Chain A
Amino acid sequence: MRAAIEGDEAAYRRLLESLSHSLRAATRRGFAQVGAALNDVEDVVQETLLAIHLKRHTWDSDQPLGPWVRAIARHKLIDALRRRGRRIEVPIEFVMDTLPAEEARSDLDRQDAERLVNGLRGRQQAIVRSISIEGQSIRDVAQRMEMNEGAVRVALHRGLKALAAIHQKADGE
């Protein structure tokens, strides 16, 4: 994370990837405990990763990273479960039935994520889409859209913020 805050993209990507694995496992456990349907798990993982990304200036670099990540993950998980109205204990049989299905990501899930990106405004959407889904670099996007790199960076950052806001709204409905 320290490297990431200094702008080391590769180190940051590795960190986020490894965090995404543990977050996925933790979210799945959390969902299973209250018997929530597991097809929303990836949604919560993405929302948590976005929160980690957008709030990383609240991590005190003198402190270990783990507790900070766990506090955010817990907050997002509780939030997600609360918004989905899952507070009732569900019989264990039900959880057992859903567990094998967890690897298959449902189409609903992907549609939902697609809808989230579609919620972004014009240029932000184009930039977030080209960098994430098409895997282009900031420089490529800047050249193609005839913008300077700084403007692309700002739009990307705002786009990610907007994405986090859409997540909250979408779940609240």
Chain B
Amino acid sequence: MKTEQLIAAMAADAKTTEMPIGRTLWLAFGGGAIVAALIFFVEVGPRPDLATAFETPRFLFKYVVTLGLLASAAGLVWHLARPGAAPRAWLIALAAVPALLAIASVVELLVVPTSAWAMQTVGKNSIVCMMVIPALSAAPLIAVILALRQGATTHPVLAGAAAGLLAAGIGATLYATHCQDDSPLFIAVWYVIATTVVTAVGALLGARLLRW
């Protein structure tokens, strides 16, 4: 087939277009988040002292971290769905989240007596945390990866990892509502491990599924 002939076929196909990628991503994000929230409220549920928890800075700081992760990962995914360079601004925003967590951990070490460090870090829910966050992230991760397949990323592994971070952001935000361990030290260990696992799965999926 000559190139002019191929062009004729593509021109004839002009009217058939996929949904704009931004809308596809919103649907995937919304759908994934709704499924994760349903699973959370049916299987896990919020902690009983939620109302009083909202008055403590440590509890609120958990949302600063998880929503910060969610927002910056979303910015990255939305950009990486299109061909072109990785957006530096969103990478910096994403890097600010662990930096903030590190600062909060140092503050926590300063304000909490040495004898309580271990308890604050290990907490009561470490195993549950590592199971629940990835479990809640599964649906959003699959949805966002499928949406990204409709996109045209020129960075498949990075886009997959960003999808993992976004999914973990959803999972961690929901889980934070349940978890009674509010210390930044606990987050710095267990949330980070759970997020890393989901991100690694995302990167692997990206390497396999997002090439075109």
Contact = CB atoms under 8 A, between A and B. Distances in A.
A13 B6 contact: no
Contacts of A116: 1
B133 to A, nearest CB: 30
A113 B13 contact: no
Nearest to B19: A57
B212 A160 contact: no
Interface residue SS majority, chain B: loop
Kindly state the interface size class of chain B when it binds its partner. Answer: 20 to 34
Contacts, number: 110
Contacts of A72: 83, 152, 154
A36 interface: no
A17 interface: yes
A58 B151 contact: yes
Interface in B1-24: 1-22
Contacts of A68: 82-84
Given A13-B7, A132-B1, A71 B84 contact: yes
Kindly state the interface size class of chain A when it binds its partner. Answer: 35 or more
Interface string A107-120: 00010011011000
Contacts of B14: 4, 7-9, 12
Interface string B21-44: 110000000000000000000000
10 contacts: A5-B17, A9-B12, A17-B7, A50-B10, A51-B212, A55-B152, A132-B8, A157-B16, A164-B212, A168-B212
Interface of B: 1-22, 81-85, 150-152, 154, 212
